[in-house]
């Protein structure tokens, strides 16, 4: 880690891993792991949080903001919340296995 980050902040940056068919495909093809992160998370923070929590080395981070869909229920109209996803590229040989509940 190049900068000093607040450890409590890093614990809260990652919300959940994204586990889906597409996420599994991306993980196999590009050696990336997808996380849902807090809306104000920065790339260096995400990288530091992954390195801290999973004891792996990250290479780079791409971030995507997904807009929430508008959904109807009867006459009412609601909106799902926006989601921020982080695609964390791991260094070659590094792996995170969520099925076992930790770093492999």
Q: Which CATH architecture has domain 7-93?
A: 2-Layer Sandwich (3.30)
Q: How many Å apart are CA 94 and CA 56, to the nearest integer?
A: 6
- Contact between 49 and 14 (Cβ < 8 Å): yes
CA 87 to centroid of chain Cα atoms: 6
| Sequence-ordered list of residues with C-beta below 8 angstroms from that of 93, at least 6 positions apart, any chain | none
Q: How many CB atoms lie within 10 A of CB 13?
A: 22
Q: Read off the pLDDT of residues 35-60 as tens digits, 9 standing for 90 and up.
A: 999 999 999 999 999 988 888 888 99
Q: How many CB atoms lie within 10 A of CB 59?
A: 13
Query: Model's pTM, two decimal places?
Result: 0.80
Greater confidence (4 vs 26) lies with 26
Mean pLDDT confidence for 6-27: 89
């Amino acid at each position: 880690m190049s900068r000093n980050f607040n450890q409590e902040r890093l614990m809260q940056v990652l919300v959940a891993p994204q586990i889906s068919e597409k996420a599994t495909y991306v993980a196999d093809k590009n050696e990336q792991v997808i996380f849902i992160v807090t809306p104000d998370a920065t790339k260096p923070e995400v990288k530091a949080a992954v390195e801290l929590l999973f004891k792996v080395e990250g290479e780079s981070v791409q971030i995507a903001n997904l807009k929430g869909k508008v959904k109807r229920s009867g006459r009412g109209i609601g909106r799902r919340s926006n989601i921020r996803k982080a695609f964390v590229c791991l260094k070659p040989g590094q792996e995170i296995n969520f099925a076992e509940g930790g770093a492999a």
